[in-house]
Amino acid sequence: MRLLTGPAGSGKTFTVLEGLRAALGRKDSSVRLLVPTATMAQHLRNEMARQGFVFSPSVIQTLSRFIESWTVDLPQVSEPVFHLLVEKCVRRLNHPAFAKVAHLAGFHTKLAQVIEECSAAGCDVGLLREQLPASALTRALADVFEEVKRELDTQKLGLRATRLGVAAARIAKAGTEPVKTIWLDGFFSLTDPELAVIEAMAKQADVTVALPSDEIAAATRARLLAIGCEEPRITHERVRPKPKLFVAPGIEREADEIARRILEEVAAGRSFREIGIIVRSPEVYVALLRATLERFGIPARFYFDSILTEQPAVRCLAGAVDAMLGGWDHEQTLRIMKLAPGVGVSAPMDRFEFQVRERLPGAGLEALQQLATEVCADDQWFLRMLDRMAELDAWRLLTLKPAEWCAQFATLRALYRPVRPRDPVSRETTMEWRSQAQALDAFEAAAAETARFFDPETKLSLEQFWPALKAALRLTPLRVADERRDVVHVLSAYEARQWELPVVFVCGLVEGQFPRYHPPDPFLAEQFRRRLKEHGVRIRTADDVEREERFLFDSALSRATASVILSYPKNDARGEQNLPSLFLDPEEAVTASRPVRVQLGEAAAVAPASVIRSADLLRVLEQTQAEVRPTALESYLQCPFQFFGRYTLRLKGAPERPEERLGFLERGIIVHRVIAEWLTVRGPIEEIFNRIFHEMTQAKFIPAGYKTELFRAGMLADLRRFAASECWPADYQSEGEIACRFELASGLGISARIDRLLKTPDGRGFVIDYKYSPTSKDKVANQNLLQGPLYWLAVERAFGLQPAGMYYCSLRDGLEYAGWGEQPAWLAGATIKAFSREWLESAIERSVRASQEITAGRVEPAPSDLSKCRLCDFKDICRYQGVAVAMAEGA
């Protein structure tokens, strides 16, 4: 047995591959090259094949795959199943020490991890018990550990370590035939069980192990030497390119800079496949790099798993089951439906969604089906999707064998049926389709795994099977197949170890990311790990972790043959300053990233001046002026664009949330209707209010609840106050809610709905406009308001009375009159201005001008009172300078 040691990049792999080439050249099929990961194996296989060799894939494989044939009777327990086993054992033992956390998913995950770690380190239950202080925690840990082992044995499943052990024994006995020569490469530390296998192989075959000479591999090396490895030194030392370092303001800009430099390299004649990006913290960089490289048009291949449960396909399927179990909560159900390809973005779906959202909250599928037949009867596909979901309801009652459940879940696919591909299509899109197709397959695979966990003959209910499947889904990674070659390779620091590329970027060199922050272990605290270590158990301590990070860093640096570019962001995503990695050489010269932008599809569109000029449209505007409401003119005076949005375009946003449905407007309407009716019928105002309030809650789907009650009580109190305070002389003739229309100027008709008109016996008229607001004083002062004067005119022109007063009457939290004209005794104390011609004329003048400007097509945003913008429905779209800052201040 031979041991090849040398620093990263010293050509160990090269030597190994030389040997392999020679063998393949001889068509010698008795050789094996064993590597740690499947990706590495595949990478090397393809390299070899491209060099013209024809050989069986099994020649280059992972160690685990290699021992398969010796352990067919002890299949490896899959991660999901193992996790479920641990969970089961925790439940069974029901240890008081775990009582508070026994139901937490994260707890099971960590527990499973530590058990696996222990067994890989060859630390069995006994050792744990004897080495660790007899605290409740460690006792519980050991007991679960023991129980899990028992479970595995009864189910005839093995952890990796166990299987290695078995394989080692059998190889030692039966030999490695037909394999005669074995190389192991790409490992930096080997666990005891792995070493056992190697030792066994070495008895039969010619074994060579390549190891880095770094500290990290010291322990492994020592053991190998101890079992009689000879160690020819590798002298060949490749000159490493000197690393360059750049810093960017933030991660986005860091990614931009990497893209920029890649494009420079490519422009200088490099092909994409000669470039790699090594990522240590995928959770920070992978998504970002995907987006950025795509944006710059750089083809890239990511050697990372994505999370299955984040895939829309899986969200859709799993979501459907959850929604069903939750009684088809409408909001939840909508979300799932929107995920369905095609249907989810179809016009009927859009319409349906808003219809449903207007009625939220709600539950039950029938209601949705009913609505669907009303809203989109024309769309079979849409209805069919709902029917398919309806079929799920039957699942509640099923009790099936695990395998039958798998079959059942396989039918869920029908909910996520792809759209017929459009031609031509972009590479990104095909990749997206691919990932969803594979997500669906993975979903079924997870179901199959889950089935393996249960006894095949026992019938289970959905409540038993589904939680297990969900756990399995959480633990099933998704690696989307992508075998393109001429792409930039985005690799994890681990995968990168077997690669050599001319240009390598290593990004995210900040503390916590590279080196990575390793959260402490809740079961085996550092001091315990140290103690176990002292007793020869090769479990990882903080120092090992730190060493490993350093090794990964050095190895990353040594992947490049031509140039290696390191980088880090000055600030993190929240704008907090980062601490540059302590691995970075303090002497390193740092360059700054350059602002860069990819050439854009086209220059940003500039909206033309905001004005209506075309004759046909102007005609439309003119028509609206034949009959205009004072409030509309007021809106115009506040801002032409507001008027445009509210009265010309009548833009309608998304439906409001349930808690918002009883808003200002609605409450105003209720109060007005109640008053109008009360003025005619009088009698107890409560009854009128209760009826009208009820009607409104029905019509607007206003949910009952604290807030609604608060508003209800408020309105009722206000109305009672109003009724009680009725002060107008009985001999005044009073009418409510009268519509009227009069000509203000030629072509300008004012139409108004007057809340209350009081005629005095001597033919004078008072108008009252009720406001559901706390005060009305301010209205008298406000120059932009027209209601007052225009109503005044209405009294004269529409009702032929002698105007005597126009008053606002605000009702909320107290009654307050304010207005113009006479000040009758019963309105003593109210803010009432004397009538004046100028007042009337200026109002007419402003109205006419407003109307003329409207018909002339003036629509640009120009608020007369910036502070009112806060309440404007169009503040987000008018793009008026200063609205944003003002809004922020309102915040």
872 binding partner (options another protein, ligand SF4, none; Cβ < 5 to 8 Å by kind)? ligand SF4
Question: In the bound complex, what is the minimum distance in angstroms from residue 645's beta carbon to ligand SF4?
Answer: 7
Among candidate residues 713, 600, 597, 704, the one with its CA nearest the CA of residue 661: 704
Distance CA 715, CA 811 (A): 9
Q: Which stretch binds ligand SF4 (CB under 6 A): 286-294, 442-450, 634-642, 844-852?
A: 634-642
Q: Give phi and psi for 853, each to the nearest 5.
A: -65, -40
Given its phi and psi angles, is residue 282 left (phi above 0), alpha (psi -120 to 50 degrees) or beta?
A: alpha
Distance CA 703, CA 231 (A): 79
CB 439 within 8 A of CB 308: yes
Q: State yes or no: residue 669 binds another protein (CB under 8 A).
A: no
Residues 94-113 interacting with another protein (rule: CB under 8 A)? 97-98, 100-101, 104-107, 109-110
Residues 301-320 interacting with another protein (rule: CB under 8 A)? 307, 310, 312, 315
Residues 172-201 interacting with another protein (rule: CB under 8 A)? none
Question: In the bound complex, what is the minimum distance in angstroms from residue 360's beta carbon to another protein?
Answer: 11
Strand ranges for 213-288 from DSSP E = 244-248, 275-279
586 binding partner (options another protein, ligand SF4, none; Cβ < 5 to 8 Å by kind)? another protein
Question: In the bound complex, what is the minimum distance in angstroms from residue 631's beta carbon to ligand SF4?
Answer: 14
Q: State yes or no: residue 818 binds ligand SF4 (CB under 6 A).
A: no
418 binding partner (options another protein, ligand SF4, none; Cβ < 5 to 8 Å by kind)? another protein
Question: In the bound complex, what is the minimum distance in angstroms from residue 805's beta carbon to another protein?
Answer: 27
Q: State yes or no: residue 874 binds ligand SF4 (CB under 6 A).
A: yes
Distance CA 862, CA 636 (A): 10
28 binding partner (options another protein, ligand SF4, none; Cβ < 5 to 8 Å by kind)? none
CB 496 within 8 A of CB 564: no
Question: In the bound complex, what is the minimum distance in angstroms from residue 371's beta carbon to another protein?
Answer: 15
The smaller minimum CB distance to ligand SF4, of residues 748 and 872, is found at 872
Residues 835-864 interacting with ligand SF4 (rule: CB under 6 A)? 861, 863
b/e per residue 602-611 (b: at least 16 CB within 10 A)? eeeeeeeebe
DSSP secondary-structure letter at 665? H
CB 803 within 8 A of CB 795: yes
Q: State yes or no: residue 620 binds another protein (CB under 8 A).
A: yes
The smaller minimum CB distance to ligand SF4, of residues 275 and 878, is found at 878
Q: Which stretch binds ligand SF4 (CB under 6 A): 242-250, 305-313, 577-585, 868-876?
A: 868-876
Distance CA 831, CA 780 (A): 8
Q: State yes or no: residue 595 binds another protein (CB under 8 A).
A: yes
Q: State yes or no: residue 393 binds another protein (CB under 8 A).
A: no
Question: In the bound complex, what is the minimum distance in angstroms from residue 478's beta carbon to ligand SF4?
Answer: 45
Q: State yes or no: residue 887 binds another protein (CB under 8 A).
A: yes
Binding mask 22-51 vs another protein (x if CB under 8 A, - otherwise)?
Answer: -----x--------------x--xx-xxx-
Among candidate residues 872, 861, 853, the one with its CA nearest the CA of residue 610: 861
Distance CA 804, CA 821 (A): 6
For 451, counting Cβ atoms within 10 Å of its Cβ (0-12 exposed, 13-18 middle, 19+ buried), the class is buried
Q: State yes or no: residue 321 binds ligand SF4 (CB under 6 A).
A: no
Question: Tokens for 488?
Answer: 């930039």
The one among 642, 648, 787, 831 contacting ligand SF4 by CB under 6 A? 642
| Integer angstrom CA distances of residue 187 from 63, 231, 304, 551 | 10, 16, 19, 12
Q: State yes or no: residue 699 binds another protein (CB under 8 A).
A: no
Q: State yes or no: residue 514 binds ligand SF4 (CB under 6 A).
A: no
Q: What is the CB neighbour count within 10 angstroms for residue 326?
A: 11
869 binding partner (options ligand SF4, another protein, none; Cβ < 5 to 8 Å by kind)? ligand SF4
Query: CA geometry: angle at 874 spanning 869 and 879, to 5°?
Result: 80
CB 301 within 8 A of CB 484: yes
Please say whether the dihedral angle defined by the alpha carbons of residues 267, 271, 273 and 274, taken in this order, is positive or negative: negative
The one among 98, 352, 641, 772 contacting ligand SF4 by CB under 6 A? 641
Chain centroid, CA 868 distance in Å: 35
The one among 94, 154, 235, 599 contacting another protein by CB under 8 A? 599
DSSP secondary-structure letter at 737? E
Question: In the bound complex, what is the minimum distance in angstroms from residue 43's beta carbon to ligand SF4?
Answer: 58
Q: State yes or no: residue 803 binds another protein (CB under 8 A).
A: no
The residues that touch ligand SF4, with contacts defined as CB under 6 A, are 638-639, 641-642, 861, 863, 869, 872, 874-875, 878, 880, 883
